[in-house]
Structure 1
Amino acid sequence: MQSSYKVCKSIFDVKSVISTEDNSFDVRIESALPEATKIEKCILGIDEAGRGPVLGPMVYGTAYCSMNNQTILKTLGCADSKVLTENARDEIFDNINKQADILGWAVHIISPTTISNCSFRRQKCSLNEISHNSAIGLIQRVLDRGVNICEVYVDTVGPAEKYEAKLSSIFPQLKITVSKKADSLFPIVSAASICAKVTRDAALKNWKFIERPGECIDSNWGSGYPNDPVTKDYLKKNIDPVFGFPSIVRFCWSTAELILKNHAAQVDWSDDEEENTDKTTVPITSFFGQNKEQVNQKTPFFDDRGLVVTTSI
């Protein structure tokens, strides 16, 4: 079931919503609806931020406005978010919100937990499929609000032709263009890119580590990309031998899986009833402490599930 959308009017509002949500779940945020977009013919753009990192959410964003007002996008400085500084992106996002009578936007924050769960399902859902579903959901959300969308521009995920055909089959009433580098070709996609990037940056800066409430958590994770030595070092330093990484990490990324294999407790799930004679295997119970003081130091995992320590059955 999809979470409901929260209405925000500024970066401050976005940060406020993020700071009150559980990072383990997806969050959906949108602007107030510009009434003019219900009447005038409108264009809509879609782009994402945070597809590649091993840390943090992936955020899909959309922006829309009437065709007659799209020149405002260039005036605001909308360009590919990757070539803009953080301050420039924040300023443009604020200016987008100041044009709330003609510009609208929405974002879908896809949590690392969602990404990992989709990858580990019996019927695996690829990152491309997650991306497509998010884009489809954003288009449908804007249509459901009554916006008179006529043209849609999307930055491609996978082969552009196949993606465009897929979207066109779902929304035959719309003229859809899927293109590589759409965020640098179409200002409306640039605006969507900025909304997505600003939201992802806010999510990372306001991340709540539910695994260690109240503790000061190391946030020196570098760029968050798998090939960053600082990121790899962060993963190695912040792994629990039983529970693995905090929820900011995408467990399904190969970088994370390799570190888990080398630094976490290994479990034998085989159905072999014969006694395990492998002396190199470490009992998982050894990671829970051997004295009363250690045993009583429960993690939030146990409290959340109402689990208690017992010595007899």
Structure 2
Amino acid sequence: MVISKHNNWNNMAIKRTQLRGIAGIDEAGRGPMIGPMVVCGVLIDEDQLNELASIGAKDSKTLSPSQRLRLRKKIEQISRTIVIRKVSASDIDERRKHTTLNEIEVAEFIAIAKSLKPKELYLDAADVVAERFGIRIGTQSGIVFQGALVVSEHRADSKYPIVSAASIIAKVERDTIIKSYHEMYGDFGSGYPTDPKSVKFVRALVKHNQKLPPIIRKSWDSVRRIVDEESMKQMKLD
């Protein structure tokens, strides 16, 4: 899906000179019950696009940790600007009292788009309607009114190397944070609710009546379910 036009073309050429390069935005850690969500934007000059593709930038989920680390260094060398925004578990919990995770992600994407001001922006859509997501990021960041091209698609990280680059940086950043948490709290796995090690970690804390640390997303259904299950077990024992 492409958004590329704003009807008022007067002064558009002048405004577009304020834009620069090609950018991609993606996130890592939207779904886990432990740890932050990391949103990353990567901006490169147009003449670096082929080089970005040639280094093997692709969907971070298809790469090993060592491959992601190696590619991150190369992406940093090629990039003009990299913007990383980290939304902690406690921040997610607080913001979800008033809004949805989708809206949190929209706000982070908008902030990065405003910062990068690209001529072309490629997004991994965080909405079931990719077009709606692209329209919101493009208009609320203001870049479409300056003549920017915005492309918003599902699985854009597997289609566009510039989005792959953002995906890789975001994933490496989150992995680094999770590793530091392991050093503080022990190895709880990936933090995803499908990871038995992560579930066991949260369940053990609840079972022993320990306060859940701020790295755990207490607003997550999977965490609430564990709390409810352990409470029921305790009630039966009483």
Letter of the 1:135 partner, please give it: F
Partner of 2:215: 248
Partner of 1:161: 131
Unmatched segments (≥5 aa) in structure 2: 1-16
- The question of 1:69 aligning with 2:43 is answered no
1:110-129 correspondence runs (5 A): 110-119=87-96, 121=97, 124-129=98-103
Report the alpha carbon displacement of residue 241 of structure 1 after superposing the two structures with TM. 6.3
1:25-174 correspondence runs (5 A): 41-99=20-78, 102-119=79-96, 121=97, 124-143=98-117, 149-158=118-127, 159-170=129-140, 171=142, 172=144, 173=146, 174=148
Greater CA deviation, 224-233 or 55-64? 224-233
Letter of the 1:257 partner, please give it: R
Give the Cα–Cα distance (whole angstroms) in 1 for the partners of residues 19 and 95 of structure 2.
38
Asked whether the equivalents of residues 49 and 59 of structure 1 are also in contact (C-alpha less than 8 Å), the reply is yes
Asked whether the equivalents of residues 160 and 179 of structure 1 are also in contact (C-alpha less than 8 Å), the reply is yes
| Structure with higher helix content | 2
Partner of 2:3: none
Higher RCO (CA-CA < 8 Å; seq separation 6+): 2
Give the Cα–Cα distance (whole angstroms) in 2 for the partners of residues 227 and 96 of structure 1.
31
Partner of 1:202: 176
Secondary structure of the residue aligned to 1:129 is: helix
Give the Cα–Cα distance (whole angstroms) in 1 for the partners of residues 173 and 74 of structure 2.
15
Asked whether the equivalents of residues 242 and 264 of structure 1 are also in contact (C-alpha less than 8 Å), the reply is no
Pairing partner for 2:225 from 221, 246, 258: 258
Larger Rg: 1
Secondary structure of the residue aligned to 1:108 is: strand
Report the alpha carbon displacement of residue 83 of structure 1 after superposing the two structures with TM. 0.4
Report the alpha carbon displacement of residue 242 of structure 1 after superposing the two structures with TM. 6.1
RMSD: 2.5
TM-score, with structure 1 as normaliser: 0.63
Secondary structure of the residue aligned to 1:246 is: coil
Report the alpha carbon displacement of residue 230 of structure 1 after superposing the two structures with TM. 2.1
In the TM superposition, what whole-angstrom CA distance separates every residue of 1:234-276 from its partner, at most 9, and x where no partner exists?
11112386663111111011111122234469xxxxxxxxxxx
Give the Cα–Cα distance (whole angstroms) in 1 for the partners of residues 210 and 99 of structure 2.
23
Asked whether the equivalents of residues 96 and 103 of structure 1 are also in contact (C-alpha less than 8 Å), the reply is no
Pairing partner for 2:149 from 175, 178, 182: 175
Letter of the 2:120 partner, please give it: E
Give the Cα–Cα distance (whole angstroms) in 1 for the partners of residues 209 and 156 of structure 2.
43
Secondary structure of the residue aligned to 1:177 is: strand
Give the Cα–Cα distance (whole angstroms) in 2 for the partners of residues 43 and 94 of structure 1.
19
Give the Cα–Cα distance (whole angstroms) in 2 for the partners of residues 93 and 103 of structure 1.
14
Unmatched segments (≥5 aa) in structure 1: 1-37, 144-148, 210-215, 266-279, 283-313
Percent identity for Structure 1 against Structure 2: 30
Give the Cα–Cα distance (whole angstroms) in 1 for the partners of residues 89 and 182 of structure 2.
13
Partner of 1:17: none
Asked whether the equivalents of residues 241 and 263 of structure 1 are also in contact (C-alpha less than 8 Å), the reply is no
